[in-house]
Structure 1
Amino acid sequence: MKKTLLVILSMVLIGVCAIAALGAGKSAQSTKWIWPAKSKLFVGFSQADLASTWRDVETKDMQAVAKKKGYKIAVTNAKGDTEQQISDVESLLAQGCNVMVIVAIDADAIQPALDKCKAKGVPVIMKARGSNGKPGIDYVSSIMSDFVWEGNQAGKWIANAAKKKGLKTVRVVEIQGKVGGTDVRDRGQGFEDAAKEAGNFQFVATQPANWSRSQAQEVTQNILQSTGGKVDAIYCQNDEMALGASLALQAAGLKVNKDVFLVGVDGMYETFKAIKAGAVSATVTCSPKYAGLIFETIEAGMAGKKIAPKIAVQDRLVDATTVDKYYDLGF
């Protein structure tokens, strides 16, 4: 009797494991994306917001390249609202968009929108910001700058500059964008890696300013007041915030490079001019103008070609010694 019971239990367990394995296998299957004919391409571009020069240039670049290639495109602006972005994607699908390009506000919150596209087989390209979903399953590919590299380059520049200045301890402020995006997470991680490598960074404050120049100016003013101006370097996760921090430093009577190092990310022409004027120390380029690469990838998909799960945009470190060399990379 016991032997028979053991045999039955064993069979039940084998059956359960088999079902679990089949379920796991099913969930791991790649999504079957339905690419449209080239003549029928209708791109839906879900933009996170238009609150900065970067996003404005990015959107106009997408529209310009689509027009040049003769493709239909519809654009939405979620204004930084994650629920609005999901609604935007639903609207674009209802309009008949058959390829979706998404700049996600939040890497997790975008998942319902990806699920809706997946249910219809509509290919999704993640642009400029990623998703915590899986390539090939939740989206086709992510095309963006290497945010970890950008943050790392900013940190290394500060470490080298501080070493030349003879600083044993570097009191650092990090001003973040809007928390939740992969750009904030990865630029922060890259900077943290550089800090660990340097071994002498002392973080005075890490605060968000939501990509805003005015907010960054206010955040920097508050930090300078609370620390008595005892700051050696400020790292801003975009140039808009770096320019805001520069205004706060000027108001406090502190000089960039002499008193405080100030590094941003993006490569705005305005920042390049500020570097030449000594109002910003350095920046790491992150060009918004790569819609050509986005459409080339879409065309590859329509042609049945294999698409890499991640495609990196190449960027450069720019300071007073290289600003003329890389000036044309600005926007």
Structure 2
Amino acid sequence: SMYLLPPGWEKDPALMTEAFVNEGVTTAHFIPAMANSFLDQVEMETEEKRTSLAKTLKRVFAGGEALAPQTAARFARSLPETAVIHGYGPTEATVDAAFFRYDHEKDRERMRLPIGKPVPGARLYILDSEKAVQPIGVAGELYIAGTGVARGYLNRPELTKERFLDDPFYPGERMYQTGDLARWLPDGTVEWLGRTDGQVKIRGYRIEPGEVEAVLRQIDGVREAAVVARTEGEETALYAYIEGQDQQTVRTELGKRLPAYMMPSSFIEMREWPVTPSGKLDRKALPAPGGAAERRAYTAPRTITEMKLAKLWE
């Protein structure tokens, strides 16, 4: 059976936890940001309520955005008997096209959680610009084929033609071009790497903001992170939004793990994140740099000489 939360309860973790216990909810689906709020509440509950919740909540699906390994690890610590499944799939492929089940012992040190293997009936292709299959470990664009692929966009034939292509491996069938970068891992799972249109060029270097986000989430204490590129005039810079750790610590730790040209120009501490109606992070609504949350803007080396000086001081 299905239990539907009353309107608005999804924004109140205390009410949500109460409902889960009272109704004996066994399976839940969270957007990652909502999962962290839920875990905050779980960690504040009495031991008795946590025990009750742990007995009933058998599995949690997380999707809509990439699930950070730290969030999955929080589930493993607070609700060790609850299975955590990382899901992937756009609406154009009937939402879920791949799943990955988190194993705390094996996966807690990963920089990213894989999106896993295709669900029954789905096929995943990772192709280059010529639609040739990419080898294991090599990034390419992700395509989805199989029974879940939609017929197209309603009343938008041109966009349908652009995104829903003939499947070169199964004549007569179609595949959906996701616009996502991914690669096959040696264990047969797929790792999501970001968007094909997400790359930016800063001071001559091509940078994928998703790569910086992944490293940020590896820093102790960082619960959530987002990195966006903003262009003012002819200058493009990266801005990092973080929760759970102070920006000076994050800047220092990030400097140990990334080359100088990938360092964000500013770090902005967040307490609440803007979200879309569907619960995903609304990147366009993130506060502009220069507010009270921003302190001591960092300027990355801009010339060879500055890079050499920075390296010496490191």
TM-score category (smaller protein): under 0.3
Structure ranking higher in strand proportion? 2
Higher relative contact order (CA 8 A, sep 6+): 1
- TM-score normalised by L of structure 2: 0.27
- TM-score normalised by L of structure 1: 0.26
- Which has the higher Rg, Structure 1 or Structure 2? 1
